[in-house]
Amino acid sequence: MTNIFAHRALGAGFFAALCAMSNPAQACTDLPSVCAQQRALEAMAGPPPKQTGAAAESASPYFAAFVERFDKGGWEFLPSPPDAKPGEYCGAYYMKGNRFILITGPGGDFKGAMVLFWDSGIPKPGKMEKVELKFDQGDGSPQMVKVLNQKLPGFGWGAFALAIQSIENLLTGMEDESVFILEQPGYYGKFEWHDGLTARKELEKCLSAGAQV
């Protein structure tokens, strides 16, 4: 199995740059480039179903698809913000059960990529922290990695964010089926996806729009 995070180690300087770029005043998250993706996710999901007696009427066609993928597992692709340049803020997320994986590429001053692992059991610190955890891609060869840990406002869940040097590095190692096991004292999470090659193709299509300008 290809390790999508083994192409280039990220030192403390890269994490320092991420923290320096974060804006504590942001309403959604301090993680660079993820803020736009979170706003897109909220806009697509729309309001929850309206209750009318015993029957529930969906207020958003997307919401029904969201719930179905939430149960069975599937990808969604997020539109770039209206003011984004072509090829910026390309994003996709996989959700199944109570776990999400979000992939987001470069946007604005942030030139790298991020992979966000997100569920209700991840610690939710009051402010973004850099922490260390054991990361295993299901091949029995775990490694200790440094990640950013933050509670995502508006959702009430914690997230671990791994910074990748470039979106190209991430996509090169992206496989059709992947398993990710994250561990630290008090937390164990097993994340997975399928149809990863389909997601990679969609992300490459989004990124290529920037190269054509």
In a domain, 84, yes or no: yes
The residues, any chain, with a CB within 8 Å of residue 206's CB and separated by 6 or more, are 77, 80, 87, 90, 105
Number of domains in the chain: 1
Burial group, residue 211, by CB count within 10 angstroms (0-12, 13-18, 19+)? exposed
For residue 135, give Cα distances in angstroms to 5, 61, 124: 10, 36, 19
Say yes or no to pLDDT of 196 above 80.
yes
Q: Which of 37-41, 49-53, 62-66 has the lowest mean pLDDT?
A: 49-53
Give, for 36, the enclosing helix (H) or strand (E).
helix 34-45
In a domain, 51, yes or no: no
In a domain, 206, yes or no: yes
In a domain, 53, yes or no: no
- How far apart are alpha carbons 162 and 148 in whole angstroms? 7
Q: What is the rounded (10 degree) CA torsion for 83, 85, 87, 93?
A: -20
Q: With CA atoms as reference, report the closest residue to 174 among 203, 194, 196, 201.
A: 196
Say yes or no to pLDDT of 210 above 80.
no
pLDDT tens-digit profile of 74-112? Answer: 898 877 777 788 888 888 989 888 899 999 888 888 888
Name beta bridge partners: 56.
Answer: 51
pLDDT tens-digit profile of 160-192? Answer: 999 888 888 899 989 999 999 999 999 999 999
Q: Across 37-89, where does the E strand assignment appear?
A: 50-52, 55-57, 74-78
In a domain, 16, yes or no: no
Say yes or no to pLDDT of 15 above 80.
no
In a domain, 110, yes or no: yes
In a domain, 2, yes or no: no
- Average pLDDT score over the chain: 76
- How far apart are alpha carbons 18 and 25 in whole angstroms? 15
Residue-number span of the structural domain to which 145 is assigned = 32-45+58-211
Q: How far is CA 31 from the centre of its chain?
A: 10
Phi, psi of 204 (to 5 degrees): -60, -40
**Do 67 and 55 meet the contact criterion of CB atoms below 8 Å apart?**
no
